[in-house]
Amino acid sequence: MSVIQIPAYTHAILSPSKAAQWLNCMGSIGITKELPRTSSKYAAEGTVYHDVTRRALIEGKDCDAYVGDKYEVEGFKFTVDDDNAEAAQRYVDEIRAIPGKRFIEVELEYSHLLGLPKFIEVNGEQVPGGAGTGDFVGIDYENRVVHSVDLKFGRGDIVYASYVKPDTDTREPNEQLALYGAAAAARFDLVGITDDWLVKMAISQPRANHYDSHNMTVGELKAWVASKRAAANRAYVLYTWGPERIDLNDLKAGDKQCRWCPLSGNCKAQTNKIMDRFPKGHAAQAMPALLTLDDTQLAEVLDSADEIERYLSAARANGLQRALSGHTLPNWKVVTGRRGNRELPDEPETARVELSVEAMTQIGVEDAEETGQIPIQDAIHFAIGESAYKPRTLKTVKQLEGALSKKAPLLWAALQPHITQSDGKPSLERIEDSRPPIANLTPEFPTPNAAGLL
């Protein structure tokens, strides 16, 4: 089977996936413009499954039709597997349930909406100013709705369609989604989309079991885009100036923008913001003698926790990279890490081991008269029999569902009464999480008294 090669994509200078970065820290794309672009296996895997969903939606198939297909993206090799095909299928099913006319992988340009040039010359090459590929755009004439859905294939960090604005209870759209939504409404404007149409902007993150959406009218989106024009143009100007002319005032740290910034963990503005949270000197002495935190103080700590963890992990990665390239970091050194697990060859049924006559006799090969080569798996089987194997176990219900519900729907239905699922444990989540809060919580544990003591 041939390998499907997906070439590297030329990202716009003010790219949609980095919109939270350049809209909130306008100097960030300028100060990082000369850093080498690094490729990531996770991003490459996302590209593969975007392609699988694209093929499924265009060819009218389900994603399991592509299991076993081989891909190569930016030097990383992948084979489409059952579990990921099943996750990709969830996105495909969500898209198929959206009414109206559907468009897959749509070029969405927003440079004209923000007053940016369509192309910017970089090293003699014309690179788009502000544009990207929307995974899905739907036009539902009947209900006067534009749908814009972005597929995220990661399972780690959840990406939300909107964020609660600090110190308010209003929501701000996810910048990437809002740019896609505005660009989609503008692109299909000719078909009669007016300001009162609704734009439903959604994130589908099937491997994290996450789907949420944020709705704005076309008029509201236009106003949002207009409010971002100055920031976008400043980011563009700072990009053209480059790192030499950018100073600390052009950098504004924050969790959203620093999260994926290549300077994260190596940035003065970000470090200042993190360190300013910890009182020093006289300020620290002037603090009241805190023994325990009240609810508001604890919530503030939790608000900062993710950002600080990400900052520390980026700082560790940066420290290792610097030390590996010969820098001396006081009190730190590079050592060899723990060795990985011991592994047999990938295909022990064909890879061979050479055994002496005595060794063959020891594992029970009868009539061995001379040294010979024997497949490793057979040799181990001779030696210890069935105990050489892991016990055969069924896959999880989630892993079995796709295949069973399609190939044996009657069995799948009959199995339902036998499938149990434990209740979800209470979990503390950010307010953006789409699940409703648990009602009627009763105090099971002692709560702080007025003095803040347990």
For 145, the 3-state DSSP assignment is strand
- Which of residues 321 and 405 has its CB atom nearest to ligand SF4 in the complex? 321
Spatial separation of the C-alpha atoms in residues 14 and 126, rounded to whole Å = 13
| 72: DSSP letter | E
- Which of residues 193 and 253 has its CB atom nearest to ligand SF4 in the complex? 253
Contact 43, 159 (CB under 8 A): no
Spatial separation of the C-alpha atoms in residues 6 and 154, rounded to whole Å = 19
Contact 106, 183 (CB under 8 A): no
Contact 156, 142 (CB under 8 A): no
Min dist. Cβ of residue 316 to ligand SF4 (A): 15
**List 52, 201, 251, 368, residue binding ligand SF4 (CB under 6 A):** 251
- Which of residues 20 and 193 has its CB atom nearest to ligand SF4 in the complex? 20
Contact 241, 30 (CB under 8 A): yes
At which residue do the structure tokens 């009241």 appear?
Answer: 288
Spatial separation of the C-alpha atoms in residues 70 and 72, rounded to whole Å = 7
- Which of residues 267 and 380 has its CB atom nearest to ligand SF4 in the complex? 267
Neighbours of 293 (CB within 10 A): 13
Min dist. Cβ of residue 42 to ligand SF4 (A): 20
Spatial separation of the C-alpha atoms in residues 159 and 174, rounded to whole Å = 9
Min dist. Cβ of residue 275 to ligand SF4 (A): 13
- Which of residues 38 and 393 has its CB atom nearest to ligand SF4 in the complex? 38
Mask for 68-107, x = binds ligand SF4 (CB under 6 A): ----------------------------------------
Min dist. Cβ of residue 129 to ligand SF4 (A): 20
**List 12, 178, 258, 355, residue binding ligand SF4 (CB under 6 A):** 258
- Which of residues 51 and 175 has its CB atom nearest to ligand SF4 in the complex? 175
- Which of residues 84 and 257 has its CB atom nearest to ligand SF4 in the complex? 257
Q: Which stretch binds ligand SF4 (CB under 6 A): 257-265, 288-296, 302-310, 410-418?
A: 257-265
**28 touches ligand SF4 by CB under 6 A:** yes
**47 touches ligand SF4 by CB under 6 A:** no
180: nearest Cα among 152, 206, 207, 154: 152
233: nearest Cα among 35, 11, 29: 29
**HSE-CB of 280 using CA atoms within 13 angstroms:** 5
**263 touches ligand SF4 by CB under 6 A:** yes
For 122, the 3-state DSSP assignment is strand
For 165, the 3-state DSSP assignment is coil
**List 13, 25, 63, 73, residue binding ligand SF4 (CB under 6 A):** 25
**15 touches ligand SF4 by CB under 6 A:** no
Q: Which stretch binds ligand SF4 (CB under 6 A): 64-72, 184-192, 249-257, 295-303?
A: 249-257
**257 touches ligand SF4 by CB under 6 A:** yes
Spatial separation of the C-alpha atoms in residues 232 and 178, rounded to whole Å = 14
At which residue do the structure tokens 């010979």 appear?
Answer: 372
**List 261, 274, 355, 360, residue binding ligand SF4 (CB under 6 A):** 261
At which residue do the structure tokens 């199995």 appear?
Answer: 415
**270 touches ligand SF4 by CB under 6 A:** yes
Min dist. Cβ of residue 268 to ligand SF4 (A): 8
**19 touches ligand SF4 by CB under 6 A:** no
Min dist. Cβ of residue 383 to ligand SF4 (A): 56
Min dist. Cβ of residue 270 to ligand SF4 (A): 4
**379 touches ligand SF4 by CB under 6 A:** no
Neighbours of 325 (CB within 10 A): 7
DSSP β-ladder status, 3-6 and 70-73: parallel
Q: Which two tokens stand for residue 395?
A: 């896959």
- Which of residues 35 and 58 has its CB atom nearest to ligand SF4 in the complex? 35
Spatial separation of the C-alpha atoms in residues 355 and 353, rounded to whole Å = 6
**26 touches ligand SF4 by CB under 6 A:** no
Count of residues of this chain found to bind ligand SF4 when the rule CB under 6 A is applied: 14
**HSE-CB of 19 using CA atoms within 13 angstroms:** 20
Residues at the interface with ligand SF4 (CB under 6 A): 21, 25, 28, 31, 251, 253, 257-258, 261, 263-264, 267, 269-270
